[in-house]
């Protein structure tokens, strides 16, 4: 079992790096087909099953699915350990089945797992909860599995850019950091140093509560019209920030998907009309 986990992480990392749609750390989607965007999953297996059912990638070869923040949350073992790493296995297996259609972008919980830094969710320190569960499961091979997981997480792209001028990333640099944000991070391999505060990957995955001024500046800097983000909790599954940003969440029973046509340009209002409640999926 430990060796299977290591092999899975290694294969997932190779596919992330070799995607024909990836240039640098951005996945560029074509001007045709459909895109399904999920918000943070945080171990919610039932919603993952809904996503698979809804996407039906076997019969929809021009549909793409974006995932983010799989770990930290969901079922626990008998000792209170977080089992979300098991859902990460399932998402990677899905990526392996559909390597050019499934895209998993980096989130702040991923960087926290790599750095072994504290990250709280519902009052619980999630890295400790997840890694103690992994240690119990993998025993003497835990450190080998943990290293393979870190390598996998660091292989994930940072963003997805659509031909219809929609940008998707876990978050954006917070106010005060937008003008100095180093966009060369999109063109070169990122390192452990880059995910430390206040380096560029950290800024891209941890920013919250952006002002309209910052959003407008970043839209111009990234040459896009609209942003779709995760990261910020949404009780009803979605929310808007300013006039050009939609935030979605998929980690609870009120979670949502965003589904839109890659060939079509959208306003923020039109994009909001493309939201699909998770509970409506069989």
pLDDT in tens, 231-276: 999 999 999 999 999 999 999 999 999 999 999 999 999 999 999 9
pTM of the model: 0.96
Residues 92-96: contacts with CB within 8 Å, 24+ apart? 92/8, 92/9, 92/11, 92/12, 92/152, 93/8, 94/52, 95/12, 95/15, 95/16, 96/8, 96/11, 96/12, 96/15
Q: State the residue range of the domain holding 111.
A: 2-280
Instruction: Count up the domains in the chain and report the number.
Output: 1
pLDDT in tens, 72-82: 999 999 999 99
What's the confidence (pLDDT) of residue 120? 82
Other beta carbons less than 10 A from residue 137's beta carbon? 18
What's the confidence (pLDDT) of residue 123? 81
The stretches of the chain forming alpha helices (DSSP H) are: 2-18, 45-55, 84-97, 108-115, 126-138, 142-153, 200-206, 212-222, 268-272
What is the C-alpha to C-alpha distance for residues 199 and 62, in angstroms, rounded to an integer?
35
What's the confidence (pLDDT) of residue 201? 98
Secondary structure letter of residue 244 according to DSSP:
T
Other beta carbons less than 10 A from residue 44's beta carbon? 24
Residue 79 burial by CB count (10 A; 0-12/13-18/19+): exposed, middle or buried? exposed
Please report, for the domain that includes residue 79, its CATH number.
3.60.21.10
What pLDDT tens digit does each residue of the chain (282 aa) get?
Answer: 899 999 999 999 999 999 999 999 999 999 999 999 999 999 999 999 999 999 999 999 999 999 999 999 999 999 999 999 999 999 999 999 999 999 999 999 999 999 999 888 878 899 999 999 999 999 999 999 999 999 999 999 999 999 999 999 999 999 999 999 999 999 999 999 999 999 999 999 999 999 999 999 999 999 999 999 999 999 999 999 999 999 999 999 999 999 999 999 999 999 999 999 999 997
Token pair belonging to 26: 């951005």
What is the C-alpha to C-alpha distance for residues 33 and 246, in angstroms, rounded to an integer?
21
Distance of CA 196 to the CA centre of its chain: 18
What's the confidence (pLDDT) of residue 50? 97
Task: Name the nearest CA neighbour of 164 among 246, 261, 27, 244.
Answer: 261
Secondary structure letter of residue 141 according to DSSP:
G
Unique residue bearing structure tokens 């040459």: 223
Length of the chain: 282
Other beta carbons less than 10 A from residue 32's beta carbon? 10
């Amino acid at each position: 079992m430990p060796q299977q986990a290591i092999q899975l992480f290694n294969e997932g990392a190779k596919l992330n790096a070799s995607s024909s749609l990836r240039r640098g750390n951005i996945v560029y989607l074509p001007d045709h087909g459909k895109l399904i965007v999920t918000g943070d999953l945080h171990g919610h297996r039932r919603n993952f099953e809904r996503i698979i059912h809804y996407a039906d990638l076997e019969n929809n070869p021009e549909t793409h699915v974006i995932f983010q923040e799989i770990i930290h949350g969901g079922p626990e073992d008998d000792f209170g350990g977080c089992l979300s790493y098991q859902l990460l296995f399932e998402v990677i297996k899905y990526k392996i089945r559909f390597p050019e259609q499934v895209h998993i972008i980096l989130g702040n919980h991923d960087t926290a797992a790599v750095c072994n830094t504290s990250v709280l969710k519902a009052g619980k320190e999630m890295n400790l909860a997840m890694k103690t569960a992994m240690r119990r499961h993998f025993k003497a091979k835990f450190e080998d599995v943990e290293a393979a997981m870190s390598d996998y997480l660091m292989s994930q792209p940072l963003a997805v850019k659509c031909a219809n001028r929609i940008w998707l990333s876990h978050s954006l640099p917070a106010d005060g950091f937008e003008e100095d944000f180093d966009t060369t991070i999109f063109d070169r391999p990122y390192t452990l140093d880059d995910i430390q505060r206040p380096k560029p990957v950290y800024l891209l995955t941890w920013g919250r509560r952006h002002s309209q001024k910052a959003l407008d500046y970043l839209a111009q800097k990234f040459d896009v019209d609209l942003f779709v983000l995760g990261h910020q909790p949404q009780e009803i599954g979605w929310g808007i920030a300013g006039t050009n940003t939609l935030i979605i969440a998929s980690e609870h029973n009120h979670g949502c998907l965003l589904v839109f046509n890659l060939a079509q340009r959208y306003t923020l209002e039109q994009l909001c009309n493309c939201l699909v409640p998770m509970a409506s999926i069989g």
